[in-house]
Amino acid sequence: MTSVLRSSEIHPRLTGTALEELLHPERLLWTPTQLAGLTRTVTLELGARISEFLHFDADQRWWARLALTEGIELWVLTWLPGQGTKPHDHGGAAGSFTVLRGELSEEYRYPGGPIRQRTHVTGDGIGFGAGRAHQVTGAGTEAAASIHAYSPPLVPTREYASLADVPAEIPPLPGILR
């Protein structure tokens, strides 16, 4: 039995780093725990390197894809105080984020559950399953940055008017296997 090595796309500023070893291109589906471990490790081991190319824009949040394999996508996002997302889910993908710098406020909801609020500071991370919807906002007085991972990759998100509008069950988008 031969294994097929799957190719990876890595941000040009991160080629030749430990990131290539962390991506496990043979892994086609990552668990929330594995995703949280990845974003935490990338933050700790590559945070200084990633911080060199962060960009902050007063008009809109900034982001850059750090890596893409058949099983995962990895991003860095920046947030000025008050910048945030609309309420959204991840279309059936599991996810994770770890705060690289600053502070983020998150309101989140699991289908059928209450809306909850949590603050994440530098070094904090969380992994979550496919059924979670949330809204993330830059908090505090300083600019923030965070590392995000999703599996399976390239799954479109669904936006909601508010977290109260999240259905009792978040169905996967067409073409997404669970």
CA–CA separation, 15 and 71 (whole Å)? 19
Q: Encoding tokens for residue 17? A: 């780093």
Contacts of 12 (CB under 8 A, 6+ apart): none
Asked whether the bond before 152 is cis by omega within 30 degrees of 0, the reply is yes
Q: Encoding tokens for residue 42? A: 């990338």
Binding-site residue positions: 88, 90, 134
Length of the chain: 178
Of 31, 24, 33, the closest CA to residue 3 belongs to 24
Q: For 94, phi and psi rounded to 5 degrees?
A: -80, 160
Contact between 40 and 99 under an 8 Å Cβ cutoff? The reply is no
CA–CA separation, 29 and 47 (whole Å)? 24
Binding-site residue positions for Fe cation: 88, 90, 134
